[in-house]
A and B are shown apart, each in its own frame.
Chain A
């Protein structure tokens, strides 16, 4: 089912002859990566480059009494050993708060600890040497005298009066609290026939990008310029912050982002060790390379989730949901991350719970507390997996209580597809969603009735399979409402410049970035379509603050929707400019001309009139032959940011089919389905692959991934043998379907698709496991769903 809402005149750009929009075309940059000829930061070597290894605290909370580096300084290859205090002379500290998150507080964080460490893994000294190995050797000889302090690790007791306050100046360990109450909740619960409650527990996990965080910082003291080679999602944000804290003007800082080995929100933050690397380059006046090793990645890449959320749902016997209530608690480590803050995930949970449903009565509390563990912040699908698992878990519990089928209760309560525009109880505005159409399509795709029959048959032979369904909404295309309004210098607008080169090919510079999503491909598809040239003629440049327009980058599912629209608008201007010149050359009227197949053609009979290469030749080399008064502009720039809706919400529904062995607690994923609505689909294959990849990240959280801390704040599984990620052998095939409701905020109509998969996958799995274990009368509401968790719930241990 296609919800076509585009107006006739809007079709002109997107549905041109030979349009690439809506077509699967291969990404232009793949051969480089497949042949081992990419350029990741860890591949970069510069003259006089030195390597930094950070000496990291073995304690979760300790006073630094003394650092003795005298022996280490005499080790082979050592260039310098720098302490936090020494580095603080070069780079200023920061505080990760934003003004729109009211009363969010945090403490100043330094590039390296000065007199106290607040988590295991915080850097206390930088060892700079001619190689990583020699720096590691020297690091073993740096003597740090620590006085261990009591570590705050359990978020459930972080606010107890007996618990030490990590930052005494802040008064307590409460970083942020949000309350929400609308729709007469008490009354709504009274109106329910049944009220069901559960507590949901979400393990702390992390992104595990296959390429660890890496930086090469090159301060050229003669030029007074710092070049930062970094795998970041937001180069202009890094430019701004590096300049701010190093006392430079932004134009003195260039951020270059070549190939990036995975990001997923891990590489959109400002990390202390990266700031330290910039500062070390300035201090030592030479290029410094920092490549986190895998153990460092686990200890310092932001973690995410780690929520405990109590939920309550009211339901009438006819299936109508009367109210939702949640009480969410999360621990974020010792500092709110900079500059996006660590309050966003909890804030999102409050925003999103109950989001797909018509229910108006909703009460929520979210508390965010400090603890002596690694920092937590935004990771793919921020808050969504939690909100979705809580909401959908509660909906299933309500269905079980009243004896209603899980699909039926959703049909009964999901917002109707003709009810838009409308808003959620927390004030989120929905332009056009398609929950009902998605659910209908999902039920058909998965043959829901057939699976139910199969499930019943297998149960008679003691095989326990389950079906889990989860509807969701996703925040995409964020405007300044996300960060900018709170004072963060994070651009919500993006820019694209396109120009015709002297052979009639197109150079396109965009401020969005590429980490494998297909930013380069979708930009080329849009530009080629609007201009009427072959995609191979379009070369896309991104990831360089010196050579792209200013913009936000790629995060929060914004690249296609915002950067794509900027590309469309810029290409439209260039097209007009080309046609104006062509009309002058051909003594024709621009309205009678078009561009197709790399040539200007007659709009009517499509007869080629002049090749773009010939037009460019005339413009660049024989402008003297043009009529007087014509000054061609074969370059155009446009920027875009959504203005009417702060976010373009998308929606979808997922289903999981799995088998649980009740004797062993092992779960086998058999199949997964997703139907989603991201508006205009620019490249179906790229959308499907975003969904699949996102689902598998969600499945990792559902089954495997957890950062395991002991009571002293030690991360005990900081390696890839003990921290389990999803591998090929255990993952199911995933079928993806679409419903298309374009946003009217842009001519392109695209919303984001990067996080939908992750948003709902775990919820579908939890519901499927509980469905499978229905005959045992157990309820499991904790992820990861390890065999230990399952067997414990089944009372077998």
Chain B
């Protein structure tokens, strides 16, 4: 048995100082140590995208990062993005378009979508589909999600910056 290691990081704007075993991945750390259960675990081998979170502003698979690797970094989860209001318009578009059914993929899907919208203000449907290509949704068939992201991009373009 290896020993827990101290880590310090910022999660959703809050400073976190904890000891964690090296083998604990970021998804389990967020869920089990910080009780941020909005980050979901779907495959644990980096394929499904349900655990997508932001580290230092970039999306990553939380199941493919160790908690000890985020020492000194900033992490944002769906709880943080919701509370800050950053994705409020995207969530609203998802609601209007029923772009989620069971909701299990949705936090990761929102993370990936917001990542795209930050990079592209006028993404084509093809580009949206490509950017989501690592996020599995079994319920919707994806079209509603693509519609919601397209609509959000459109409304953000009309918004004064």
Chain A positions near chain B (C-beta within 8 angstroms) = 26-27, 30-40, 42-43, 76, 133, 207-212, 259-264, 293-294, 515-518, 685-686, 689, 692-697, 719-721, 725-729, 731, 733-734, 757
Q: Can you report 29 residue pairs joining A to B where beta carbons are below 8 Å apart? A: A26-B95, A27-B95, A27-B98, A34-B78, A34-B100, A36-B78, A36-B107, A40-B37, A40-B104, A42-B37, A42-B41, A210-B48, A210-B102, A262-B138, A516-B103, A686-B98, A692-B141, A695-B141, A696-B141, A697-B138, A697-B141, A721-B47, A727-B135, A728-B133, A728-B146, A729-B130, A729-B133, A731-B142, A733-B146
Secondary structure dominating the interface of B: loop
Q: A259-B104, A516-B103, A734-B141 are in contact. List 15 more A-B contacts (CB 8 A).
A: A26-B95, A35-B91, A42-B41, A209-B102, A211-B40, A259-B103, A261-B40, A264-B138, A518-B98, A518-B101, A725-B136, A727-B134, A728-B146, A729-B129, A729-B132
Complex alpha-carbon distance, A719 and B94, angstroms = 29
B92 CB to nearest A CB, Å: 9
A693 in contact with B101 given A720-B48, A729-B129 (CB within 8 Å): yes
Choose from A30, A35, A294 the contact partner of B42 (Cβ within 8 Å).
Answer: A294
Known A36-B77, A721-B47: A692·B144 in contact at CB below 8 Å? yes
Cβ-defined contact, B136 with A35, below 8 A: no
Residue of B nearest to A515 (CB): B102
Query: Looking at the complex, which one of B38, B50, B78, B128 makes contact with A210 (CB distance below 8 Å)?
Result: B50
B23 contact set on A, CB distance < 8 A: 133
Q: Tell me how far the C-beta of A41 lies from the nearest C-beta in chain B, rounded to whole angstroms.
A: 11
- B140 near A34: Cβ-Cβ < 8 Å: no
* Interface size range of chain B in the complex: 35 or more
CA–CA, A733 to B145, complex, Å?
A: 11
B136 contact set on A, CB distance < 8 A: 208, 210, 720, 725, 727
Q: Contact: A35 with B78, CB < 8 Å? A: yes
CB distance from A26 to the nearest CB of B (A): 5
CA separation between A210 and B103, bound complex, in Å?
10
Q: Is B39 an interface residue (CB 8 A)?
A: yes
B58 within 8 A of A: no
Let me know if B104 and A692 touch, CB within 8 A. no
Find the A residue at minimum CB distance from B79: A36
CB contact under 8 A between A728 and B129, given known A35-B78, A294-B43? yes
**Separation of A212 and B37 alpha carbons in the complex (Å):** 15
Q: Are B40 and A731 in contact (CB under 8 A)?
A: no
Q: Looking at A36, A212, A264, A727, which has the most chain B CB atoms within 10 Å of its CB? A: A36
Chain A's closest residue to B105 (CB) is A210
CA distance A363 to B145 in the complex (A): 44
Contacts of A726 in B (CB 8 A): 141
Query: In the bound complex, do residue A35 and residue B82 qualify as a contact, i.e. CB atoms below 8 Å apart?
Result: yes
Chain B residues within 8 Å of A261, by CB: 40, 42, 102-104
Give chain B residues whose Cβ lies under 8 Å from the Cβ of A729.
129-130, 132-133
| Complexed CA–CA distance, A518 and B95 (Å) | 12
- Given A30-B94, A728-B132, also A35-B38 (CB < 8 A): yes
Q: Which residues of chain A are near B106, meaning CB under 8 Å?
A: 33-34
Q: Is the CB of B38 within 8 A of A211?
A: no
Give B127-161 as 1s and 0s: 1 = Cβ < 8 Å from A's Cβ atoms.
01110111111111111111000000000000000
B140 to chain A: which residues have CB within 8 Å?
689, 692-693, 696
B133: chain A residues at CB < 8 Å are: 727-729
Min CB gap A751→B, angstroms: 20
Return the chain A residue nearest B99 by Cβ: A689
A36 interface neighbour in B39, B132, B145, Cβ under 8 Å: B39
Question: Closest CB-CB distance, A355 to chain B, in whole Å?
Answer: 25
B144 touches A210 (CB 8 A): no
Per the bound structure, the CA–CA distance linking A734 and B125 in Å amounts to: 13
B44 and A34 within 8 A (CB): no
In angstroms, how far is the closest chain A Cβ from the Cβ of B108?
9
- Within 8 Å by CB of A30, from B44, B95, B107, B143, lies B95
A515 to B102, CA, bound (A): 5
A721 to B44, CA, bound (A): 11
- The answer to whether the Cβ of B118 comes within 8 Å of any Cβ in the partner chain is no
- Using Cβ atoms and an 8 Å threshold, which residues of chain B touch A38? 38, 103
How far is it, in angstroms, between the C-alpha of A728 and the C-alpha of B107 when the chains are bound? 16
Question: Considering only CB atoms, which chain B residue lies closest to A39 in the complex?
Answer: B37
Tell yes or no: B1 within 8 A of A by CB. yes
Among A26, A262, A264, residue most surrounded by chain B Cβ atoms (within 10 Å): A262
In the complex, are the beta carbons of A34 and B110 less than 8 A apart?
Answer: yes
Interface centre among B128, B130, B135, B140 (most CB of A within 10 A): B140
Residue of A nearest to B128 (CB): A728
